[in-house]
Amino acid sequence: MSRVYTADVTVRHDELDAFGRVHPAVYLRYLAHAAVEASADAGFDAAWYGGAGGMWLVRRSTFTVADPARAGDRLTIRTWVEDFRRVRSHRRYTIESGDGRRCLDALTDWVYVDATTGRPRRVPADLEAAFGTRTGNGPERAPWVGAPAPAAPARSSHRVRLSEVDPIGHVNNAVYLDIASQAVLDAFEAAGWPLERMVERGGAPLLAAADVEYLEGARYGDRLETATWFEAAADTLAAHQHIIRTGSDRPLVRAVTRWCWPDAAPGGHGTIPPGLLAAVGSLVAA
C-alpha cells in the first residue's frame, strides 16, 4: 500500500435523501474531495498540475455501501494509490463513521490527460514515485461487462443545467449517478411502482452498489437520454443503464447500480417488494 491520506467530513442535512441517508452521488463528491486533498498533500496541487499541463479525469468509479451515512455523522475518508499503469491510476477509499461503522468501500480508475487536448499522457515518474508505488506495476483494466438490453428499455430525459458543469466545462461525474438513480425510480413508477408504493410494500429503496464508467463528457445544454433495464440477483435488483446525447446511440456513460430494500428487514438487504420484479418484467435483460 502507498501512503494513506485521511480526510474528515461531516454529513450535512442538504446531503440527505428523503429517508435520512446520504445521497449516493454525495459519496462520489467525498471521494473526489479526498483525492484532490491527497494529491496536494503529496506536493501535487493545482499549481503543480498547471505547470505540468496535465490533469486527472475519472474513467470509472465503483463503490459498495456497507451502512449508509446519516445526518451529523463525522466521517473519516482514507485513500491511497493502489497502482499506476502508463496513463492510469487506481485509487482506493474507505469511509467510516465516528463510531467505527464502515460506511463505504470504493475504487476509482483515473486517467492522466493533457490539460489542453484532453488526450491521455504518460503519468510523470516523479508523481508515481511520490505515492510509493512501483512504476508501471498496475494490471490491465477489466473490460466493461453488462447485461444485454431488452428490445425496449425504459427511457428518461434530462437537460444539463449550468450548476451541473465543472470548471473544465464537463458535467461533474457525480451528477451522472443522480441522473441514473432518478431514471431507475422513473422506470419503477412507469411500471406502476412509484416510490410511495415501494415504501408501503417493501421499504425505502437503497442504492447499495454502483459501477459507473465515463466515456465522454456532456456539456451545458446537452439533452441526455437514459436507457434503463434490469437484472435480478438474489434479493437485489441490478439496473443497467446507458446515458447518451439525444440523437446519438453512443454512450457517454455506462452504469450498473444495485438496489435493495433494507427497511423491509433492518440490518439486512431485505427483499425486492413482491410484485415489483413482475411489473418490470419487460425491462429485464434479454
| pLDDT value at residue 286 | 72
pLDDT in tens, 124-163: 988 888 886 655 567 788 889 889 999 999 999 999 999 9
| pLDDT value at residue 3 | 86
φ, ψ for residue 139 (rounded to 5)?
A: -80, 165
CA pair distance 277, 159, nearest whole angstrom? 29
| pLDDT value at residue 271 | 79
pLDDT at residue 263 greater than cutoff 70: no
| pLDDT value at residue 134 | 59
State the average pLDDT over residues 113-119: 94
Residue where a domain stops, chosen among 93, 113, 141:
141
Choice among 36-45, 117-126, 262-271 with the minimum mean pLDDT = 262-271
pLDDT in tens, 48-82: 999 999 999 999 999 999 999 999 999 999 999 99
* Beta-strand pair 54-65/88-96: unpaired
Pair (211, 232) in one structural domain: yes
Pair (115, 224) in one structural domain: no
Pair (206, 173) in one structural domain: yes
φ, ψ for residue 245 (rounded to 5)?
A: -75, 140
Nearest to 128 by CA among 118, 138, 120, 117: 138
Pair (284, 147) in one structural domain: yes
Residue where a domain stops, chosen among 141, 167, 197:
141
Pair (43, 135) in one structural domain: yes
Pair (197, 245) in one structural domain: yes
**Cell (9 digits) for 107:** 475504487
The average confidence (pLDDT) of the chain is: 92
CA pair distance 49, 105, nearest whole angstrom? 28
Q: Domain holding 158: CATH number?
A: 3.10.129.10
- Binning pLDDT at 50, 70 and 90, where does residue 233 land? confident
Pair (117, 226) in one structural domain: no
State the average pLDDT over residues 238-263: 94
- Residue 234 vs residue 4, higher pLDDT: 4
State the average pLDDT over residues 9-13: 96
Pair (213, 269) in one structural domain: yes
Classify 93 as helix, strand or coil: strand
**C-beta of residue 176 within 8 angstroms of C-beta of residue 165:** no
Pair (179, 270) in one structural domain: yes
Beta-bridge mates of residue 156 = 226
pLDDT at residue 266 greater than cutoff 60: no
Question: Which residue range is the domain that position 154 belongs to?
Answer: 143-286
| pLDDT value at residue 234 | 76
| pLDDT value at residue 257 | 97
pLDDT in tens, 205-229: 999 999 999 999 999 999 999 999 9
Choice among 114-118, 198-202, 264-268 with the minimum mean pLDDT = 264-268
Pair (275, 255) in one structural domain: yes
Torsion (CA) 266, 267, 271, 272 in degrees, nearest 10: 80
State the average pLDDT over residues 3-20: 95
Residue where a domain stops, chosen among 141, 161, 180:
141
The beta-carbon contacts of 275-280 under 8 Å, at least 24 apart in sequence, are 275/193, 275/201, 276/188, 276/191, 276/193, 276/198, 276/201, 276/202, 276/237, 277/232, 277/237, 279/188, 279/191, 279/192, 279/193, 280/187, 280/188, 280/191, 280/193, 280/230
pLDDT at residue 16 greater than cutoff 60: yes
Pair (96, 203) in one structural domain: no
State the average pLDDT over residues 100-110: 96
pLDDT at residue 99 greater than cutoff 70: yes
Pair (188, 101) in one structural domain: no
Number of domains in the chain: 2
